[in-house]
Amino acid sequence: MSADAQWQEAYDPASLQEVFLDKLGDELFHRGLKSMYMEPPGRKANLWVWNPDAPGLEETIFVSLGKDGLWWFWWSWAERIAVADDVDQAASTIVRVLASLLPRDLTDHVSPFCTMPASGCDAPEETRGGQPF
């Protein structure tokens, strides 16, 4: 029996879920995402993950034992992300999915009502055609 298998047998499933989700949350934090461990009454424990640079880019991540006997991270739509032992792969996938479409330096300067680059929204009216928004 491998060291990982022995380690996993030493914990009950609820404890393992928390351990795996905490490890994933730590890794996502180091990659710029925020997360919160959630354990709603009567529901599975999960990790709520969001991109602080892009409001609305958020997802709920679950971890559970698969039919293959391995623990997996899962999207809320029941698609596997990665084996729970591979936190690096799981974090890479989640970061890619929750990535902002705008470069980080533009997210602070673009008005939610502006469809032009930051310099266009901040420019005087005569340089943007004199048309009010």
Convert the pLDDT of each residue in 34-85 to its tens digit: 999 999 999 999 999 999 998 899 999 999 999 999 999 999 999 999 999 9
As for how many domains the chain has, the answer is 2
Question: Does one domain contain both 95 and 124?
Answer: no
Read off the DSSP letter of residue 100.
-
Asked if residue 85 and residue 31 are part of one domain, the reply reads yes
Question: Which one, of 26, 83, 68, 73, lies nearest residue 45 by Cα?
Answer: 73
Instruction: Determine how β-strand 46-50 pairs with β-strand 34-38.
Output: antiparallel
Residues 91 and 116 in one domain: no
Range of the domain at 124: 103-133
125 and 67 fall within a common domain: no
Dihedral sign, Cα of residue 59, residue 64, residue 67, residue 68: positive
Structure confidence at residue 51 (pLDDT):
96
Phi-psi region of 81 (alpha: psi -120 to 50; beta: other; left: phi over 0): alpha
Note the pLDDT tens digit of each residue in 9-36: 556 778 899 999 999 999 999 999 999 9
